[in-house]
Chain A
Amino acid sequence: MTLLMFFVWLAVVIAVSIALAWGFRAVATAVTQGEMQRALRNAPLTAAFGMLVIFVYLVVAILAPMIAPFPEREVVGSQFMPWSAEHWLGTDALGRDMFSRMIYGTRNTVGIAFATTALAFLIGSVFGLLAATVGGWLDQGLSRLVDVMMAIPSLIFALLLLTIFGTSVITLIMVIAVIDSTRVFRLSRAVAEGVVVMDYIEAARLRGEGLVYLITREILPNVTAPLVAEFGLRFCFVFLSISALSFLGLGIQPPTADWGSMVRENATLITFGDITPLLPAGAIALLTVAVNFVVDWQLYRASGLKE
């Protein structure tokens, strides 16, 4: 029976998603114009769905205190209260309002993941572009260092570093950002390498241009498109890594509302057939799916435009 119900629910969710995506695309096409409108009109429904989800998450994250009916950390009821009109999603193991914590979780989890990704990008792309442009020993040195760091699986490396530095939000951000910046380094170096071999870069070098001009004016404009797509993919990875760590109890620490730890704290309910702990996990999955859909579309467009 559960299996059957599961598929019925799955079908309903997919149908509703398609309808929402279709509606969102219609609205988006109506309010935009020009090149943007053309792109949106040809966007697949998956991409439209992705954009809608990202948009909703953004609104919720920004307006969290206004939307949430209860404070983030206050105990407002007894523990594990069922869903009710007052507590829409019931209460957690300590008696805090689940729905409000979900709302605040948007801000905390997504915000921390975003900050981490941004930091990873800053580190990775600066060194990647430098390595590709300068070449020689700097390139060799950085590339070998990154090779070795990537020889340790990222989650394992993160666990090792967290053991040593302890678990606080700042160390979490730093550790994940540094580990992930190796992947950004690889990509930005590879992409920049493709640009650096172009004759216009040779022409600029022969003109006597300095390193900063070369990177910012000649190379950067040609690598932004793949880097933006990579930002989306990296965000997904970082977001999933942080959630996994939080779920393991080693990431974002209580009492901060965070989706990964919320799953962990309330996991026991699942064995009683209560799906509430699945909701924060679903929220993570939904955002990652959405970002992936949009990135996939952008990558497809980029490859199509080349021909």
Chain B
Amino acid sequence: MAHVWRMIAQRLALGLLTLFVVSIIIFGATELLPGDFAQAVLGQAATPEAVANIRRELGLDQPVYMRYFDWLFGVLQGDFGTSLAQRGRPVTDMILSRLGNTFFLAIYAAAMAVPLALTLGVLVALWRNSLFDRIANSTALSAISFPEFFVAYILIFVLAQSGYFPSMARMPAGADLGEKLYRAFLPALTLTLVVTAHMMRMTRAAIINLLASPYIEMARLKGMRQSRVIVHHALPNAIAPIANVVAINLAYLITGVVVVEVVFVYPGLGQLMVDSVSRRDIPVVQAIALIFAAAYVLLNLTADVISTLSNPRLLYRK
């Protein structure tokens, strides 16, 4: 087993390295700013003195790598710097309360989407080319094609207009879980619809690919029941491809969250990010981008490790 742990340690190290490079990109991108950071904050009309003040305040007179390491060490200690738009307010404060909300929404949607999509994907693969398959496929293809805000507004129009669910997903402090689930239902449903379609199609493709293997034909020719062929022969080999499908789609949730939060005025990171982009509040945007990227890298890493652990070729060497 020692080589397996080494392999997993290697993947983890690679993931950390990726995150490190991502942080360089996210920080370094601001260096591409035409003109100057300080100029951008104050606009063209700013007096030279004001610009110089800001520069000193933000440490812009220091070399870029110094500023990067300052920022990075701050981040590692949970300090993302201070907001530009709301002068002096720590970015960490602004993010912290919303972080939980966004993860709540993402997990809520994932908890609905993953079982639904995997079940549908496997069923459609088993009954491929049937009428059910065609309808499910066309529906999924349509759902993929819908912009998230379209799905969201249709749901508002159909479900919120009739008063079943609130269209504004405000999250009062101290609401219990049931209340939260009720209020966040429409945004979570929107994400579920969009992600399920993607995940179902990918699951279908992965399973069909698997069912074409000679060892599946062999199991059939050994007179095994369909259920045993699927559970005993296909499923153990499907773990890796399915883990990848789930990871890709949960990562997709992160992107979807941004739009959905805006539509439903949901107090999460995505909404804050959009607001900060229009205010050009760069420290906030950097912080949120880093959090989303970290979640994304972590998801892919998890899928990678699961694939390794489910592959006997890697587990038991010759």
Contact = CB atoms under 8 A, between A and B. Distances in A.
Q: Do chains A and B touch in the complex (CB under 8 A)?
A: yes
Interface of A: 1-3, 6, 46, 147-149, 151-157, 159-166, 236, 240, 243-244, 247-250, 260, 263, 267, 270-271, 273, 275, 277-278, 281-282, 284-285, 288-289, 291-293, 296
Interface string B150-166: 10011011110110000
Interface residues of B, number: 54
A55 to B, nearest CB: 17
B145 A156 contact: no
Given A159-B258, A163-B277, A271-B167, A284 B32 contact: no
23 contacts: A46-B138, A151-B18, A151-B22, A155-B255, A156-B254, A156-B293, A160-B285, A163-B282, A164-B33, A165-B33, A244-B148, A244-B258, A248-B259, A248-B277, A249-B274, A249-B278, A260-B147, A271-B161, A278-B154, A288-B145, A288-B147, A292-B145, A296-B141
A240 B33 CA distance: 26
Given A160-B26, A160-B29, A153 B150 contact: no
B146 interface: yes
Given A2-B162, A148-B25, 12 more contacts: A3-B162, A148-B22, A149-B25, A152-B292, A159-B274, A159-B285, A160-B26, A236-B145, A249-B278, A275-B157, A278-B150, A293-B138
Contacts of B255: 153-156
Chain A to chain B: the 3 pairs with minimum beta-carbon distance, closest first? A288-B145, A281-B150, A289-B145
B10 interface: no
Contacts of A160: 26, 29, 285-286, 289
Q: Which residue, of A154, A157, A163, A293, has the highest number of chain B Cβ atoms within 10 A?
A: A163
Contacts of A285: 142, 145-147, 150
A198 B254 CA distance: 40
B47 to A, nearest CB: 22
B26 A244 contact: no
B227 to A, nearest CB: 28
Contacts of A271: 156, 161, 167
Interface of B: 18-19, 21-22, 25-26, 29-30, 32-34, 138, 141-142, 144-150, 153-154, 156-159, 161-162, 167, 251, 254-255, 258-259, 262-263, 273-274, 276-278, 280-282, 285-286, 288-289, 292-293, 296-297, 300
A267 to B, nearest CB: 7
B13 to A, nearest CB: 15
A1 B263 CA distance: 24
Nearest to A237: B144
B30 A164 contact: yes
Nearest to B167: A271
A244 B148 CA distance: 8
B113 to A, nearest CB: 17
Contact of B144 (A154, A162, A260, A292): A292
B293 to A, nearest CB: 5
Given A148-B21, A159-B289, A164 B282 contact: yes
B16 to A, nearest CB: 12
A222 to B, nearest CB: 23
Nearest to B145: A288
Nearest to B33: A164
Nearest to A44: B134
Contacts of A165: 32-34
A153 B141 contact: no
Contacts of B263: 267
A153 B25 contact: no
Contacts of A270: 153, 156-157
Contacts of B144: 236, 288, 292
